[in-house]
Amino acid sequence: MHRRHYERHRTGRMGWLRASVLGANDGIVSTASLVLGVAAAQASGQNVLVAGVAGLVAGAMSMAAGEYVSVHSQADSERAELEREHHELQTDVEAEHKELAAIYMDRGLDQALATQVADQLMAHNALDAHARDELGITEAFRARPLQAAGASALSFAVGSALPLLVVALSPTSMLLPMVFVTSLVLLAALGALAAWAGGAKMGVGALRITFWGALAMAITTGVGMLFGVSG
């Protein structure tokens, strides 16, 4: 009897992982940049904290709404394509069979084998075979709007809360360097964790996300200083 070989792959994580990394990164960068800009404009510690909390709430809601709308649009497109494919299978199954066999021939199978594979797969589940091999729609990569929205909002809130915790615990004189340095450390850890979860190089992931975060925080700090001086 043939024993099935099981392997654990990371592709099933892609939907929630992308949304979570994006949300956490935006939470850290946008909130840290916001509080750095406000603090650089010589606002009080309480005002800086209030601005940061407002940014957390607004950002989390915005991330959830944006992810839901964008991923739902993808889900609608997938659904429309599957309905169209289902209709074609009902009205012209012979043409769909030839189309599937041609796909396998393009991938390297000879005509006889491609036709046999198309026969067996369509007999098992014709729509699934066409969704996977013609449309590129698989279960692992299907659009899941609610999952993406929830993961993005939650990770944004967690990411935002970390710079705010530093604001709450830091003396006013040390607020700017403390938020900047700790945010960079958090971004590096996030980049490394995301790369590890996705099977990529951790160092590259950490460096990439840290560079862009540092640039954003530096620019907003400079803007805040300009407003503080002019005020």
CA dihedral 96, 98, 100, 105 (to 10 degrees): -170
Span 177-224, pLDDT tens digits? 999 999 999 989 888 887 777 677 888 878 888 898 889 888 988 888
- Answer whether residue 40 is part of any domain: no
CA dihedral 215, 221, 223, 229 (to 10 degrees): -150
pLDDT of residue 58: 92
Identify whether residues 121 and 188 lie together within a single domain. no
Domain closes at, from 157, 182, 199: 157
Identify whether residues 51 and 147 lie together within a single domain. yes
Identify whether residues 142 and 174 lie together within a single domain. no
Identify whether residues 150 and 178 lie together within a single domain. no
CA dihedral 25, 27, 28, 32 (to 10 degrees): 140
- Answer whether residue 30 is part of any domain: no
Domain that holds residue 134: 14-20+45-157
Identify whether residues 124 and 187 lie together within a single domain. no
- Answer whether residue 53 is part of any domain: yes
Identify whether residues 91 and 194 lie together within a single domain. no
Span 83-98, pLDDT tens digits? 988 898 888 888 888 8
The H or E element that residue 55 is part of is helix 45-91
- Answer whether residue 197 is part of any domain: yes
pTM (predicted TM-score): 0.68
CA dihedral 83, 149, 59, 214 (to 10 degrees): -100
- Answer whether residue 147 is part of any domain: yes
Identify whether residues 69 and 151 lie together within a single domain. yes
Number of residues in the chain: 231
Identify whether residues 184 and 152 lie together within a single domain. no
pLDDT of residue 82: 86
- Answer whether residue 31 is part of any domain: no
Domain closes at, from 130, 157, 184: 157
Q: Considering its fold, how many domains does the chain have in total?
A: 2
Identify whether residues 51 and 151 lie together within a single domain. yes
Domain closes at, from 124, 157, 190: 157
Q: Which residues of the chain have pLDDT under 70?
A: 1-19, 139-141, 198, 228-231
Identify whether residues 74 and 126 lie together within a single domain. yes
pLDDT of residue 57: 93
pLDDT of residue 165: 92
- Answer whether residue 218 is part of any domain: yes
- Answer whether residue 34 is part of any domain: no
Identify whether residues 142 and 185 lie together within a single domain. no
Identify whether residues 203 and 146 lie together within a single domain. no
